[in-house]
Amino acid sequence: MWTDLCLAYEGPSDTRDTKIVALRLKFTAFKALKGEKVNGTYTRLNFLLNDLENNGMIISQSEVNATFVNSLPRKWLSMNQTQRANNSIKNNSLAALYSKYLYEEGLIDDIYASESQRFTIKASSSKALISNNYFQDSDSDVEEDNRTNNKFMADLNAEIDDLTKGKNKKDKSDKGKSEKGLISKSFDWDDESMSSEDKGTTKFKAFMAIAEDKPFVGKGDARSGQ
């Protein structure tokens, strides 16, 4: 009867032995997974130890602790050396040893979070400062361009005013001479060499020239000049 029960739950002896060998190899090669937290490594190792115990395999506490410590990533090398120096690997339970690593991991996570936040704030402040300086420089450039343009326009207007004043003085002097010359010519035509139609056309052109030179002279003024 007991034989039947053993076969029903454990299988044949050769099958059970094969399973124990497989579990033992799994324990020997036990390693933390990439990116795995200490809690995850501890939990997986406990499951494996339970399987070994259920199959009649009891492993010493020091070997269990050494397997746990050696399975952790290289970043725990300093912590591992400290625990060996303190004989914690030989004397502590797996749960006690695990609690030390869990506490240390919590401190590391807090420092990492604090440094990450500080770096993010610093980076944001730097970006804001660069952006602010850029806009200040842009505003300064615009103001400088406006001042340059305003000065250029002021200088240009001054030059135009000077030229206009000089031209007006010259025009006033030339207008008197022009009017006298044109009016004099309008009365010195040779009646025999020109037809009445030609005389009228020439007169009209002469008065048009006077009008263009001096637009404010009216028709009455032109007649009185004749």
- Token digits for 206? 């002469």
Average pLDDT of the chain to the nearest whole number: 73
DSSP 182-195: HHHHHT---TTTS-
Residue 104: the pLDDT is 94
Distance separating alpha carbons of residues 109 and 115, to the nearest angstrom: 10
- Token digits for 57? 């395999």
Residue 186: the pLDDT is 47
Q: What percent of the chain has pLDDT over 70?
A: 50
Residue 158: the pLDDT is 72
Residue 39: the pLDDT is 96
pLDDT for residue 36 is more than 90: yes
Give me the residue spans of the domains in the chain: 2-92, 189-226
Residue 125: the pLDDT is 63
Residue 10: the pLDDT is 52
CB-based contacts of 190: which residues, under 8 Å, 6+ apart?
none
Question: What single-letter DSSP state applies at residue 15?
Answer: H
Give the model confidence (pLDDT) of 100-153 as tens digits: 999 999 998 888 777 777 667 666 666 666 666 655 656 666 677 677 767 767
